[in-house]
């Protein structure tokens, strides 16, 4: 018997993210620390920013959010063509308009780099 997976509204039209050891793109990891009662509001704000700004930027490949089960953290995993694209995103006026909104809900830390190891079954 084959079972079908039914996509929820959040899963519709979402491309899968591939984690691979390559220098063909840059990975950006952001960790946001939030009060548990604000986690869902933060995720909604991040999603709004991603769908209305980030997806329109040159060099963007994919973005995924990971909501911690403790409700105190959200991790953003993004893939970009290169570090120059990340820097352009961070300087984009539409993106900059979101930063105070993020800061009002969460503390923010991020790194950009290359995947150097990947092991899977």
pLDDT digits (tens, 9 = 90+) for 91-115: 999 999 999 999 999 999 988 888 8
Q: Determine, yes or no, domain membership for 42.
A: yes
Pairing mode of beta strands 60-67, 73-80:
antiparallel
Q: Determine, yes or no, domain membership for 21.
A: no
Lowest mean pLDDT among 2-11, 37-46, 64-73, 92-101: 2-11
Q: Determine, yes or no, domain membership for 9.
A: no
- Give the number of domains in the chain: 1
Distance CA 9, CA 68 (A): 20
pLDDT recorded at residue 118: 78
CB-facing half-sphere around the CA of 107: CA atoms within 13 A: 5
Q: Determine, yes or no, domain membership for 74.
A: yes
What is the CATH number for 52? 3.30.70.100
pLDDT digits (tens, 9 = 90+) for 4-25: 444 445 555 555 677 767 777 8
* Burial of 46: CB neighbours in 10 Å, binned 0-12, 13-18, 19+: buried
pLDDT recorded at residue 52: 97
The residue segments making up the domain with residue 83 are 26-113
98-to-8, 83, 95 alpha-carbon distances in Å: 27, 20, 5
Q: Determine, yes or no, domain membership for 91.
A: yes
Q: Determine, yes or no, domain membership for 39.
A: yes
pLDDT recorded at residue 26: 92
Quick one: which H or E segment has residue 39? helix 39-52
Q: Determine, yes or no, domain membership for 90.
A: yes
Q: What is the mean pLDDT of residues 112-121?
A: 81
């Amino acid at each position: 018997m084959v079972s079908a997976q039914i996509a929820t509204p959040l899963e519709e039209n979402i491309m899968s993210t591939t984690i691979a050891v390559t220098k063909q793109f840059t990975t950006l990891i952001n960790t946001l620390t939030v009060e548990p009662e604000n986690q869902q509001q933060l995720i909604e704000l991040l999603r709004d920013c991603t769908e209305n700004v980030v997806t329109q930027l040159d060099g963007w490949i994919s973005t995924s959010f990971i909501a911690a089960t403790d409700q105190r953290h959200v991790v953003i995993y993004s893939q970009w063509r290169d570090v120059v694209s990340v820097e352009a995103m961070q300087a984009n006026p539409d993106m900059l308009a979101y930063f105070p909104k993020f800061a009002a809900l969460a503390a923010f830390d991020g790194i950009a780099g290359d995947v150097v190891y990947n092991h899977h079954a």
